[in-house]
Structure 1
Amino acid sequence: MSEAESNNTTTYNERLILFVLATVQFITIVDFMIVMPLGPQLMRVLQIDPSAFGLIVSSYTFAAGLAGLVASATVDRFSRKSAFLVLYAGFILGTLLCGLAPNYVTLVLARVLTGAFGGILGGISMAIIGDVFPDSRRGRATGAMMTGFAIASVAGVPLGLVIGNHFGWNMTFIALALAGLPVLFVAAYSLPSLDAHFGEARVHPLESLRRTFTVPNHLNAFALIIALTCSGFLIFPYISAYFVGNIGMSEQQLPWVYIAGGGLTFVASPIIGRWADRAGKLLVFRVIAPLSAALMFAITHLYEGGIVLAIAVFGALMVCNVGRMIPAMAMITASVAPRHRGSFLSANSSVQHIFGGVGAYVGGLFVTQAGEGAALEGFGTVGWIAAVVGMSSLWLAGRLRSGEQPETVSATELSLPAAAEAAYDPGEPMIAFVDGAAEVGDVRLQSFERDLHHESVDHLPELNSTHAVRPQVRRDAID
């Protein structure tokens, strides 16, 4: 019996499973995002400069990237439930250690531990969605799980900032760990084992990685993702410190910045997705990417006292950052052969995490601060670099080759997960959010084989000439 058929005959408590996955996503997103707006307080209390703060951010992403490469070779050797529970327990422990960290070094080490476990949880969650929910309901299940990101953006991060402002940055992580601990026990009770994949044929991990990193179109896709990720992470980790030190915004006003940015993002995301589906992904990307680059320059060159303008520019930048990511992810998804998407997406997640860390660390090298609460110096230079890197994505996007597949990936379906990708969390396996996309190639071939089987012998030569050859050519053309 196939896995899809098994899903239809096995009864799961689907609502409880979705609750667990959405709650875990909420906690992991808040944990990753909250470090950036806590930047001014962390630099003040720990007495560190912007470059040292950049390492706090990048340590998580570096660890997540390296862990993703290891996970792509090993995670399928365990049941989904076992892998999820171990990773989530490690993540909760790492978050708690962040809150208990007495100094800068231990905080960095705790962030490494948290990233190593938390960076893989998104992929495991999507694997559970794929195993539990049949193709006909997978898209709705994914949308329900993604509400965790929406709540994290609009409510979780501002609430974490309020806790940090009133009780200290340590309490933000301690509260997050305590809130997430009960979910571990609920997950242990509610999640099924999900070990049907044990019987699937496996390619040697090193061979899978070799294939992934030698296909020219894969390299073009990686280059585009690197440009998009680096340009954002050059500036986003330091925006809060810049708003406080240069614009004159108080730390108590920062939550409103993220409420406004998160709200605008989720209103605009589905609109941009539908526009990209109608007008064409590359066209929409070429319209929005220059706007995003211009806003990256603008937000790093604001004048002192312009708090309202700063909030408006930040909201517009969030919308444009998401707006360029939606068509970009749709194009990248369509450029990879369906049978190679599993290994590609694992590698893609690692590439995004690693270069998100590179961007955060490099940005910190250019930014200096004379003393506690002083203005950031050199942030304008970072804005120039981010804008140039962002503009390079226009050329890189044009290098992607379309697979010319009969079933293309919808930008509308990618709009919500792409918002998560663009806002702060690089590395979610985006194709998994497309309802049944991982099986597109297999379904198409199975359908063709059934049609061929039912045709009469008299029609076989015609079928061989018109149908049997062309699909194979089209599949090979995008390898």
Structure 2
Amino acid sequence: MSNPYESPVLPQGEINEPFALAQVEARTRTMEWVVLLVLASVQFTSIVDFVVVMPLGPQLMRAFKIGPAEFGLIVSSYTFAAGIAGLVASSIIDRFSRRTAFLSIFAGFLLGTLLCAVAPTYWLLVAARILTGAFGGILGGMAMAIVGDVFPENRRGAATGFLMSGFAVASVVGVPFGLYLGTNYGWHMPFVALVALGLPVLVIATFALPPLNAHLGKKHTHPLRSLVNTFSEPNHLIAFALSAALMIGGFAVIPYISPYLVANVGMRESQLPFVYVAGGLLTLFVAPVVGKLADWYGKLTMFLIIAPLSAVLLIAVTFLPPVPTLFAVLVVGCLMVSNAGRMIAAMAMITGSVRPELRGGFMSANASMQHIASGIGAYLAGLIITQAPDGKLEHFGTVGIVACGITLLSLIAAVRLRKVGETEEVLVAVPEHG
């Protein structure tokens, strides 16, 4: 009995073309999944590195004898370094192969994380956070550029959904485990664990990632001219506006959810992890589904459905009265899911809106815009929110209304964003077999 996995024997010189094409397709799909797993692992480490600093605040303030303002500098130094580095990288990143650039940036990120772990003083920790942010801020854009190069349009939404589920895994596993290490073994240990996790991923990525250098055949301009070109293309500006609106709308609310739940809704601090675990689990299961639906029914269609829903949930969360904990967890979890869903659809649209030879620089610039916009959103919300003598937060509902309005404005940018032609937007991800 013949083996169904072997090509049937044909006369010498003849080729079973359907079987050969099936083999190439199978190898391509396998390569795509390996690349996606590597990218998701890198996303996980970078997300946990950024997020875990915030709940470590009390320990850092005790260890370095600093106040809230100094701790705020530890957090914001990462964000602003990420934004500036993204702008610089956007002008030169397309001069290198995707693999070389990605591996170099990830190695720099791990070095910065290691320096965070061993920083003996406050200012050295701030410097280490600046270095980590400079590299970590570019990783997200590079990952999306690689997704855009490797995955064709009909599978890009699902790939984006899988990659963005790294946020959910970070919420469910990474941050709670990091807090456990920090609480029991000191604030250094979460950073040590991230380096220990990242080094094997770096080694695997060295062998797993394809060169992805087809864009190098294109003529590149001077870095400053490249930066000007990136920000002078009207379609790019629409994409940046879409990203900025989503990040401002989200980060005007997200950083203040925890204190609002404790001060106004009546939750205990010990119950807060349930909010993030529940939201992360919901996102973990829903994000891939949203990605597939975006491939089936269209990215813009899914965005036009999910973005208004997230706008309504922003209002719901910021006006949430004292309610049972389970209800509060459900509402905030739904907001997390809707925020992730709108970003999946939006990022898939944005990735397909730029020519392949410009994608690396563009996505770096877009990541930079996202970091800056998130900082703007959090800062503006801080100017609006006040704290009453009894500790409750006031005017959070006003922030929710503003965030809702900005989110709805993103619909205009999404509708106006155009997609690059099919022949321009997909690069060959594997060597041709001939």
The TM tier, using the shorter chain, reads 0.7 to 0.9
**Ranges in structure 2 where 5+ consecutive residues have no aligned partner:** 1-23, 427-434
> What is aligned with 1:237?
255
> What is aligned with 2:83?
65
1:256 to 256, 264, 274: 274
How far apart are the structure 2 equivalents of 1:330 and 1:140?
A: 9
CA deviations 1:337-396 (Å, max 9, x no partner) are 6579725433322111111123334445666789xxx9856x433552243133133245
Compute the TM-score of the two structures, normalised by the length of structure 2: 0.74
Does residue 77 in structure 1 map to residue 98 in structure 2?
Answer: no
Alignment length (residue pairs): 397
How far apart are the structure 1 equivalents of 2:243 and 2:116?
A: 29
How far apart are the structure 1 equivalents of 2:396 and 2:408?
A: 20
CA deviations 1:220-240 (Å, max 9, x no partner) are 443343232123223323434
CA deviations 1:298-342 (Å, max 9, x no partner) are 35xx54x954343233212213323444555566567x4657972
Alignment of 1:30-429 (within 5 A): 30-39=48-57, 41-42=59-60, 46=64, 48=66, 50-129=68-147, 148-191=166-209, 193-216=211-234, 218-243=236-261, 249=267, 252-269=270-287, 274=293, 277=297, 280-281=301-302, 283-285=304-306, 287-298=308-319, 302-303=321-322, 307-326=325-344, 328-329=346-347, 336=353, 338=355, 342=359, 344-364=362-382, 379-398=393-412, 401-402=415-416
CA deviations 1:20-66 (Å, max 9, x no partner) are 33322221121122233434554565555555444333322221121
Q: Cα offset for 1:126?
A: 4.2
Which one is further off, 70-79 or 380-389?
380-389
* Structure 2 letter corresponding to 1:23: S
> What is aligned with 1:417?
none
Cα 1:88–1:306 change in 2 (3 A) is same
Cα 1:135–1:267 change in 2 (3 A) is closer
Q: Cα offset for 1:135?
A: 7.5
CA deviations 1:44-95 (Å, max 9, x no partner) are 6555555544433332222112111111222233333332232112111211
Whether the 8 Å contact between 1:244 and 1:250 is mirrored in structure 2 is yes
* Structure 2 letter corresponding to 1:67: A
Compute the TM-score of the two structures, normalised by the length of structure 1: 0.68
How far apart are the structure 1 equivalents of 2:120 and 2:371?
A: 26
How far apart are the structure 2 equivalents of 1:247 and 1:46?
A: 32
How far apart are the structure 2 equivalents of 1:182 and 1:111?
A: 22
Cα 1:215–1:383 change in 2 (3 A) is farther
Q: Cα offset for 1:109?
A: 2.3
How far apart are the structure 1 equivalents of 2:367 and 2:253?
A: 21
Whether the 8 Å contact between 1:29 and 1:149 is mirrored in structure 2 is yes
* Aligned CA-pair RMSD: 4.1
2:422 to 418, 427, 440: 440
How far apart are the structure 2 equivalents of 1:383 and 1:47?
A: 34
Identity percentage over the alignment? 51
